[in-house]
Amino acid sequence: MNKDLPAIRLRALEPEDLDLLYRIENDRSLWNVGTTNVPYSRYTLHDYIAHASGDIYIDRQVRLIIENAEGMTVGIVDIVDFDPKHQRAELGLVIEQSYRHQGYALATLDELTDYALHQLHLHQLYVCIAADNTPALTLFRKLGYLESAALKDWLFDGTAYHDAVLMQKILSPGA
C-alpha cells in the first residue's frame, strides 16, 4: 500500500448501508457510466443485502463498502461477473462526491487488486469505461490497466449511444 494514499478499509454490506445503496443505485448521473438504467426499490435492495451470501463463489459478485480512517463511508466497490474458471472479474467503483479527488479511488483499487490477486487468485481484472470519462480512464491507466478494445455504441443513456473502452490488468504475484 502506498503510504501517500489515504487509509481505507473494505467491509461487507450491512443493513445500515441501505440508504447509501439506494442513493447510489438510483443516482441517474451514474447510470451513464455503468449498466444500470432502472431505479431500484428499497425493498429490492434490502432483499439483496439480506440474501447476499457474501461468498463470491456462490453469488459470482461481491460488493464492499469503502470506509476512511475515521470510519466514514466514502464509497462502494464491486467485483462482478466473477469467473472462477478463467480467473477474472469486472470492477465497479463509486466514490461519494464529497470524497472525490482525495486519493480514495486509487487507495481502494490498490487494496482491491491485492485482494483479487492474493485471496481470490484472479489472473485479471477488467473495467468497461465510457470513452469520454477522462478521469476514470486516467485513473485506470495510472494503475497499469491497458486498453484492449474500443466498443462502439456500447452504452445507452436513454437518448443516445456512447462508445466505451474495455481495459484489462493482468495480475501477477508481486503486483
Q: Residues 71-121: pLDDT tens digits?
A: 999 999 999 999 999 999 999 999 999 999 999 999 999 999 999 999 999
Q: Which of 29, 49, 45 is nearest to 97 (CA)?
A: 29
Cell 463470491 -> residue: 56
Percentage of the residues of the chain whose pLDDT score is greater than 70: 89
Q: Which range among 17-26, 112-121, 149-158 shows the weakest confidence by mean pLDDT? A: 17-26
CB atoms within 10 A of CB 28: 11
The C-alpha cell that represents 38 in the structure block: 432502472
